[in-house]
Chains A and B, each alone.
Chain A
Amino acid sequence: MSKKNKIYWFEGVTEKGVKSLLTDENSKYRWLRSQKNRRILVVLMALGTAFVAAGSYWPTLKINLNLSDGTALVIYSVIAIFAIFAVLLGYLFLRISVRGIADAPDELLDERQIKVRDTSFRYAYYAMGYLIAGLLILMLSGPDLKLFQLEGNDGSYVIIAVLFAFSSMPSMVLAWRERDI
């Protein structure tokens, strides 16, 4: 009888999932784990998340490119689906590249891994603080970005991007800092 796969609801991981990432069972992902490739992934994730955050301004394409309503809607939809899917894929690759350490519970990690995970959360906290503070400063004293309007630009892409950043920041810090994962 196979052992029950424990689900860690709070962390959003399963025991088998984390254990599989911690071993080298899936050698097809080994290329992701070099520090250079992890850092490239972090940069791509940051750029992708920034692109999603700018989604609220994609409608200006309609004016700039002189598109009809129907064509513009199709173009926005394709760009939105592609961008969000790409960032989601990047997030999954990022988790694989750091062996899921950022999201793993204590009982599945050794003492060094717990230490690096906790350090990555500390820096992720700072990074999110700077990010949110930057957004607030931009909204309050930057150019008139017209974020969070009741109609049209409702800021939903900014919220999606912040959620992506919030979920992936500890893994991004871990991927950037650690020499060997």
Chain B
Amino acid sequence: MLFLMSRNPEEPVYNRIEDARLALGLSRQELADKVGVHYQTIGYLEREEYSPSLVLALRIAKSLNQEVSELFSQTPFKKGK
């Protein structure tokens, strides 16, 4: 039965967290400590396997000195932008 468990296909939320984090020279753990989540959650966010709540998105944007609209999008970001 464990094999039959479905996953909810969420509408993807694309983000540039990894680029912004690396630009500031932060590790996943450091960013996680800043926003108050587990470092694995940062990994899930960066791989776009988890869509954050609005509160978390705002906290991440603030920690990375960015606007939410610069970090998150419903359409894929163009590379290098």
Contact = CB atoms under 8 A, between A and B. Distances in A.
Interface residues of A, number: 17
Interface stretch (B11-19, B33-41, B67-75): B33-41
Contacts of A176: 2, 5
A112 B5 contact: no
A126 B1 CA distance: 9
A180 B41 CA distance: 9
A34 interface: no
Nearest to A179: B49
B1 A113 contact: no
A173 B36 contact: no
Interface residues of B, number: 14
Given A111-B52, A111-B53, A111-B56, A177 B5 contact: yes
A111 B40 CA distance: 12
A126 B4 CA distance: 11
Contacts of B40: 180-181
B1 A112 contact: no
B72 to A, nearest CB: 15
Contact of A180 (B36, B44, B52, B56): B44
A112 B50 contact: yes
Given A111-B52, A112-B50, A127 B41 contact: no
B41 A112 contact: yes
Interface string B51-67: 01100100000000000
A22 B2 contact: no
Contact of A113 (B41, B52, B56): B41
Nearest to B36: A110
Of the candidates A111, A126, A181, the one having the most CB atoms from chain B within 10 angstroms of its own CB is A111
A13 B62 CA distance: 33
Given A110-B36, A112-B44, A173-B5, 17 more contacts: A22-B38, A42-B2, A109-B38, A110-B41, A111-B41, A111-B56, A112-B41, A113-B41, A123-B2, A123-B5, A127-B1, A127-B2, A176-B2, A177-B2, A180-B43, A180-B44, A181-B40
Interface of B: 1-2, 5, 36-38, 40-41, 43-44, 50, 52-53, 56
